[in-house]
């Protein structure tokens, strides 16, 4: 059986500390260092501008709130291609894999595996969308 993923470090945004999902994740990662940060956006920017030696974003988990929409239209590619018209549910960002052929490696600018912990906001948005 595969070992469960355990990050090397967990970054917790101050605004995300009291969410149940944050507690759930931290309980299941005993011994993993936790770094508390004031602002996830500032942390991401800092690591984009100056990545510390030895830092592996794919082994670092960021727990934060999603301040945008959870449910969005698929961005598609170019107008010349047919778009799928799917809706995308954004529960987090990033991928733990480092596939050399992956086009997302060039598009994604967040160096962390990111989990949005404000699930109640996500569910409320889904309920509103279902009523439309």
**Taking the domains of the chain in order of start, what are their residue ranges?**
9-131
CA 42 to chain centre: 15
Report pLDDT digits (tens) over 17-48.
999 999 999 999 999 999 999 999 898 888 77
Q: Could you say which of 1.10.1370.30, 3.40.47.10, 3.40.50.970, 3.40.50.12110 is the CATH number of the domain covering 9-131? A: 3.40.50.12110
pLDDT in tens, 79-122: 666 677 788 899 998 877 777 777 666 666 778 899 999 999 99
- The DSSP output letter for 58 is G
Condensed to tens digits (0 to 9), the pLDDT of residues 61-88 reads 999 999 999 998 877 666 666 677 788 8
| Rounded average pLDDT over 3-16 | 92
d(CA 104, CA 4): 24
Which stretches within 12-132 are classed as H helix? 20-27, 40-49, 104-107, 119-131
pLDDT at residue 93, rounded to an integer? 87
Determine the pLDDT at residue 11: 96
User: For residue 1, is pLDDT > 80?
Assistant: no
Instruction: Provide the whole-model pTM.
Output: 0.84
Neighbouring-strand partners of residue 92: 115
């Amino acid at each position: 059986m595969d070992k469960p993923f355990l990050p090397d470090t967990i970054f917790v945004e101050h605004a995300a500390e009291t969410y149940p999902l944050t507690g759930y994740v931290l309980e299941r990662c005993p011994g993993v260092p936790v770094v508390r940060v004031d602002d996830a956006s500032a942390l991401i920017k800092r690591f984009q501008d100056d990545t510390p030696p030895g830092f592996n974003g794919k082994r670092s988990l960021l727990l934060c709130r999603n301040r945008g929409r959870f449910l969005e239209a698929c961005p598609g590619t170019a107008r010349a291609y047919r778009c799928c018209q799917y809706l995308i549910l954004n529960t987090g960002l990033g991928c733990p894999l480092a596939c050399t052929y992956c086009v997302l490696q060039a598009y994604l600018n967040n160096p962390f595996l990111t989990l949005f912990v404000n699930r109640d906001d996500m569910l409320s948005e889904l309920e509103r969308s279902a009523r439309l």
